Structure 1
Amino acid sequence: MSGSQRVAILTGGSGGLVPGIAEQLAHAGFTIVLTARGETALDAAAARLRDSVDTPVVAIASDARDATATKALAETVVDRFGRIDVLVNAAASSTPIGGAIEDVDIDALIADVDVKVGGYLRYAQAVVPAMKRQGAGHIVNIGGLTGRSSDTLSGLRNAAVAHLTKVLSDQLGRFRISVNVVNPGIVRTPHLNELFAEMAKERDVTAKDIEAEFVHDIPTGEILSPAQVGQFIAFLANAQSPSITGQSLTIDGGYSRGVYL
């Protein structure tokens, strides 16, 4: 394949938000590279995506915890496609860490941060050389609203992602590489459905009752879809200049009530 078609790498590519984001980037004309640790789930996600888009979709396994693996991924993509235009960092554990401070598993917390924060940095390190050679690129880090509250201790990883994003934007802006963090609100994923079911069981109500409570607190009155998050990321990925960079951007239907100046 020629190096003329833009290429997007999406980490954490086997599930959650990522397939929906990837679909929107594919509709915007990007060749899609999905990556994650588990090859079976990754291949299945890529196969499903190929059924719904016209652009090439490939699956290449890599581990966010392994700098050698993330570098090898980037090298493989450049060898095959000639370029890397977009990195969407989304590899993370879906299990929150919290509870009484005396009971917190610190090793699990550090491992969680290593996957998300360390992983985001490793993938950024891997793709930046190609983006610098091109003189352009976009990095989008998926954060989370838990970084803006004290509800869950593992939210500190999202605060760290926001800090990492700002540092990277400072260093990479002169190379016309934008770096932003996108904080999704309540998004319809299998994990969300599992959370509603768990909460319903604890309170002896139905999952629909729990969902209705959340919807009531969202000004737009709807739970977001992964496609809506993907449309926003596709907007950032299509920007012709890096003028939007270093920002912590939220797409949540107005769910978060903080005022950030």
Structure 2
Amino acid sequence: MAISGEGKVAIVTGASSGIGYATALALADAGFQLAVGARRQDKLEGLVQAIEQSTGARPFAAALDVTDVSSVESFIEGVLQHYQTVHVLVNNAGKALGIDNIDENADETDWELMLDTNVLGLLRMTKRLVPHLVASGAGHIINIGSIAGHEAYAGGGVYCASKFAVRAITGALRQELLGKPIRITSIDPGMVETEFSVVRYHGDNDKAAQVYEGVRPLTAEDVADCILFAATRKAHVNIDEMIVKTIDQADAKRVARKS
């Protein structure tokens, strides 16, 4: 039997759109009290209004740039002042940038931003919240990984490296926190139609649209369902890892497209 989110506080990073947005809504509807953060505060306000309309409760919302230590610390301080505790951390903030091969033409700025966001950003949030999650007596860290953390592909070497790192960090946390009242989960989706490809192609909507042509991709809500499932199991049940793909995708490169 699933447990309710009633009375529990959940943080979702990168919550202004896509998987983060859908996850925040799903957790709020399940009874969790939400703390949401993202760089784009204008879009974050839309999420706040959606949660308030759906549940009647206004979530804590503030600017959060996981690549900026002061932003991370300010956000966490605000959450703790508002709720006094945290039970769930969904490390969702992340991005893919470019499809460069690893050669002399690659854009190192893209590399640095991916690693800073996907790896160091996740670590910054986790490091500062682990003590509070343990102290809650029912903590849970849910890291949003990717099938790119299971198989590398040409043009995605650095993005894949970042998601392999997320997988390694998740595994290490599972061992380091063994015996403490905290669960550790990685949700690893395949093709999901969000702003992901638009960001990857630096705003080129036509190229982004081609990624999903002839395919029925996952939606952000599909992934949010998986996150909610993991978060609402009994306290002793740990979903270590969940790989989720559309039926039209076998792996990072093999996709069934209809004309």
The AA in structure 2 aligned to 1:34 is V
Contact 1:19 1:49 in 2 (8 A): no
Contact 2:95 2:117 in 1 (8 A): yes
- The equivalent of 1:12 in structure 2 is 14
Provide the C-alpha distance between the structure 1 equivalents of 2:14 and 2:29, rounded to a whole number of angstroms.
20
Count of residue pairs brought into register by the alignment:
240
| 1:149 corresponds to which of 148, 152, 157 | 152
The AA in structure 2 aligned to 1:104 is A
Provide the C-alpha distance between the structure 1 equivalents of 2:205 and 2:76, rounded to a whole number of angstroms.
39
Structure 1's 45 and 63: CA in aligned 2 closer, same or farther, altered over 3 A? Answer: same
| 1:159 corresponds to which of 155, 158, 164 | 164
Cα RMSD over matched residues? 2.6
Structure 1's 198 and 177: CA in aligned 2 closer, same or farther, altered over 3 A? Answer: same
* Structure 1 residue 197: Cα displacement: 4.9
- The equivalent of 1:117 in structure 2 is 119
Provide the C-alpha distance between the structure 1 equivalents of 2:109 and 2:225, rounded to a whole number of angstroms.
36
Contact 1:8 1:30 in 2 (8 A): yes
User: Sequence identity of aligned pairs in percent?
Assistant: 28
| 1:102 corresponds to which of 101, 104, 113 | 104
Alignment of 1:34-183 (within 5 A): 34-99=36-101, 101-147=103-149, 148-151=151-154, 152-153=156-157, 154-183=159-188
Structure 1's 124 and 253: CA in aligned 2 closer, same or farther, altered over 3 A? Answer: same
* Structure 1 residue 156: Cα displacement: 1.0
Partner SS for 1:17 = helix
TM-score normalized by structure 2? 0.82
Which sections of structure 1, spanning at least 5 residues, go unmatched?
201-206, 216-221
Provide the C-alpha distance between the structure 1 equivalents of 2:152 and 2:65, rounded to a whole number of angstroms.
29
Q: Given the alignment of the two structures, is residue 225 of structure 1 paired with residue 225 of structure 2, yes or no?
A: no
Q: Name whichever of 73-82 and 47-56 sits farther off.
A: 47-56
Partner SS for 1:239 = coil
Structure 1's 174 and 15: CA in aligned 2 closer, same or farther, altered over 3 A? Answer: same
Which sections of structure 2, spanning at least 5 residues, go unmatched?
1-5, 253-259
Would you tell me which structure has more helix in proportion to its own residues? 1
